[in-house]
Amino acid sequence: MSPTPEQTTPSPTRRRLIGAAAASVAATAGALAWLNRTPPSSTPIAPSKPAGEPAPADLWSQQFDTPTGGTLKLADYRGHPLVLNFWATWCPPCVKELPELNHFHEAFHAKGWRVVGLAIDGPTPVRDFLAKVGVGFDIGLAGFGGTELSQKLGNVAGGLPFSVILDAQGQIRHRITGATSYDALSAQAALIDAQAPR
């Protein structure tokens, strides 16, 4: 038997229930989207931990060849506040942020800050790139093995660029996934300098 027109048209009560169910589904979808949102690109260490968190035990024993043929030893930077940046020549945001890192290096080197760029790249592309776009801070050739070190430092997704800011005591104070800027770095440096032991 075919339904009558009265049976196919929802009653006002039924329409309200359908509307309420649809609103509930939409609210749930919105909440799930918010929970699964992309995390912020800049991840400070929790303010309740002003001392930061310890760097991996083997960080300071790491050594890398340099584009000019020398050796970059992270142990040489121990005792200085440090911006450790992971980058590659094939990564457009990395290339875009290098002048910002260089600006920070020039402005803060006299205040004790150091910047080290670890290239997740082959030696030849890095040398060719730096011949065209010089930077004043130190560069190490970490190769694709540098990805493992960046993950130890908190780069869970393994993306580039990735930067870690450490204080002079070797504590990780800030992580930045994605391109950074001079203003962002200088703000973090000012905060860390203000909290440094006297």
Instruction: Give pTM, 2 decimals.
Output: 0.75
Nearest-angstrom CA–CA distance, 29 and 96: 36
51 band by pLDDT with thresholds 50, 70 and 90:
low
Q: Where are the domains of the chain?
A: 5-35, 42-195
C-alpha angle 5-11-14 in degrees, rounded to nearest 5: 130
101, 137 contact by CB (below 8 A): yes
Query: Is the pLDDT assigned to residue 33 strictly greater than 80?
Result: no
How many other CB atoms are there within 10 angstroms of residue 165's CB atom?
26
Q: For 98-133, how does the pLDDT look when each residue is reduced to its tens digit (9 = 90+)? A: 999 999 999 999 999 999 999 999 999 999 999 999
% of the chain at pLDDT higher than 90: 70
Is the domain 42-195 a CATH 3.40.50.720 member?
A: no
